[in-house]
Amino acid sequence: MSKTETRSRAGEDMSPVTEMSAAVAGFVSEFKGFRAEIQQRLQQQDDKMTKMERKSLGAVRPALAASTDFEAPHRKAFDAYLRSGDDDGLRGLELEGKAMSTAVAGDGGYLVDPQTAERIQSVLSSTASIRAIANVVQVEATSFDVLIDHTDVGHGWATETGTIAETATPTIDRITIPLNELSALPKVSQRLLDDSAFDIEAWLAGRIADKFARAEAGAFINGDGIDKPTGFLTHPAVDDGVWTWGNLGYVPTGAAGDFNGPDAIVDLVYALGAQYRANAVFVMNSRTAGVVRKLKDVDGRFLWSDGLAAAEPARLMGYRVLIAEDMPDIATDAMAVAFGDFAAGYTVAERPDLRVLRDPFSAKPHVLFYATKRVGGDVSDFAAIKLLKFGVA
C-alpha cells in the first residue's frame, strides 16, 4: 500500500473532534509565535529609548540633593558679606521682586536675605507688642495715609407728597503716618566670624529682632512722634462722656490710684462701641495684671480666667489680654489699662526691607552690624480704643 493511500485512509478515519483539536493547537502555536515576535520588537524599541534618554541626560549635572535651594546663592553671598565684608556676590545678584529685599542699595547699605528677614518679622509679630494686635501694612513710600470716615450720613423721613430736605454730608479725615528709621547695632568678634561653625545669620536675626521688638513696643505706646512712631497714650484723653474725635475716651475707676470695685472694668468694656467689642483686647503690664486678676464680681467669681491651652491668652470678662510691659503702672490718674479693637484703632506702617551695614573699624577687634528698618505708627480710629483712668474723675 502506498503512502498516499495510507494518508487518505487516516484522514477518512479522523473524527471531527480530532480535527478541531488539531486546528486549535495550530492556532495557539501560531499565536504564541506572534506574541513572541511582538515582545521582541517592543523590547528592542524600549532599549533604543533607554539609550536615547541616557545620551540626552548625560550632559546634565546630577542633583546632589532631593530638593534645590533656590536661595542658596543669595544666602552664600550675604554670609560672605557678614563674615568678611566681601560684597562682590551681593552686587551682581538678581533677586525676585516678591522677596523681602529687591536690590542692593546704592548708598552702601545691603539688604538682609529673605530667610533672615522673615525670621525677624516672625519674631516681631509674636512678641508682646501692639504690633501683634494692630493693623500692620507695608508701604514703599515715606509715609502712609489713612482715610477715616468718622461721621454719619444724615437722614430723614419722607412723605408721598412732601419735599425732601438736604441731609448732612459725612466728612473724611486724613491721618498721615510718617515712617521713621529704627536701628540696632549688635557687635561680634572677628574670631567668632571666622569660625565656620558659627551660625551668623541666626545670631544676627535674633539680635536684630530683640532690639527692634523692645524699641517698637515702647514707641507704639509712649512714642512722642518725633523721629519715632506716635504712641496711643500720647494723644489727649478726655472723659468718655464728652468724647470727641482726635481724643481717646477714658473711664475713671472712682478711686485715686486704685480700683473702686470691679465695676470700672465693666464700664470700660461697655464704653467701647458694639462694632469694636467683637475684636477688642485688654492691654496692661504685668503689675497691673497682678492686681486685675484678683478682682471678683458680686458672686465671688474672678473676672480673670487663664487660658485652657498653653498658647491661648488669658481672658478678662471673656476678652483677650495682651501683657505689654511699656504700659504705665497703677498710680493716681494713670491710664494703666487700655481696651479696644487695635486692628481698627492703631496702624503700623513699615517698609519691607531690612538693611545691614558692616563696620569692622569702630569697635576693633569687634565687628559692628548696623541694622536699620523704617517703621511708623499712629492711632487710626480714635473711637476704637478706650482707657481706664485710675482717678476719681
Which of these, 115, 137, 90, lies nearest to 205 by C-alpha position? 115
Question: What cell does 63 get?
Answer: 542633583
pTM for the model: 0.67
Question: What cell does 115 get?
Answer: 530667610
C-beta of residue 305 within 8 angstroms of C-beta of residue 314: yes
Among 91-95, 127-131, 304-308, which is the least confidently predicted range? 91-95
Separation CA 231–CA 326 (nearest Å): 11
Mean pLDDT of 187-193: 81
C-beta of residue 315 within 8 angstroms of C-beta of residue 332: no
> Using one digit for the tens of pLDDT, what is the confidence trace for 368-383?
888 888 999 999 999 9
Specify the pairing of strand 135-138 against strand 346-350.
Answer: parallel
Specify the pairing of strand 335-340 against strand 304-305.
Answer: unpaired
Residue 300's region, left for phi above 0, alpha for psi from -120 to 50, else beta, is left
The ranges assigned to domains in the chain are 72-148+178-227+351-376, 232-349+379-389
* Confidence at residue 355, expressed as pLDDT on a 0 to 100 scale: 81
Question: What cell does 198 get?
Answer: 558659627
Among 44-58, 89-103, 205-219, 276-290, which is the least confidently predicted range? 89-103
Indicate whether 4 pLDDT > 60. no
* Preceding peptide of 365 cis, ω within 30°: yes
Q: What percent of the chain has pLDDT over 90?
A: 35
Separation CA 118–CA 104 (nearest Å): 18
C-beta of residue 378 within 8 angstroms of C-beta of residue 175: yes
CA end-to-end span of the chain? 143
Separation CA 69–CA 78 (nearest Å): 15
Indicate whether 392 pLDDT > 50. yes
**What CATH number was assigned to the domain covering residues 232-349+379-389?**
3.30.2320
Element (H, E) at 200: helix 200-222
Indicate whether 351 pLDDT > 50. yes
Indicate whether 200 pLDDT > 50. yes
Out of 50-64, 127-141, 215-229, the most confident range is 215-229
User: For residue 173, how many C-alpha atoms fall within 13 Å in the half-sphere facing its CB?
Assistant: 14
Indicate whether 74 pLDDT > 60. no
* Confidence at residue 306, expressed as pLDDT on a 0 to 100 scale: 79
* Confidence at residue 220, expressed as pLDDT on a 0 to 100 scale: 95
C-beta of residue 379 within 8 angstroms of C-beta of residue 235: yes
pLDDT category of residue 100 using cuts at 50, 70 and 90:
very low
* Confidence at residue 14, expressed as pLDDT on a 0 to 100 scale: 59
What is the average pLDDT value for the chain, to the nearest integer?
79
Q: What is the total residue count of the chain?
A: 393
Question: What cell does 46 get?
Answer: 524600549
* Confidence at residue 168, expressed as pLDDT on a 0 to 100 scale: 65
pLDDT category of residue 230 using cuts at 50, 70 and 90:
very high
* 221 vs 25, higher pLDDT: 221
C-beta of residue 199 within 8 angstroms of C-beta of residue 364: no
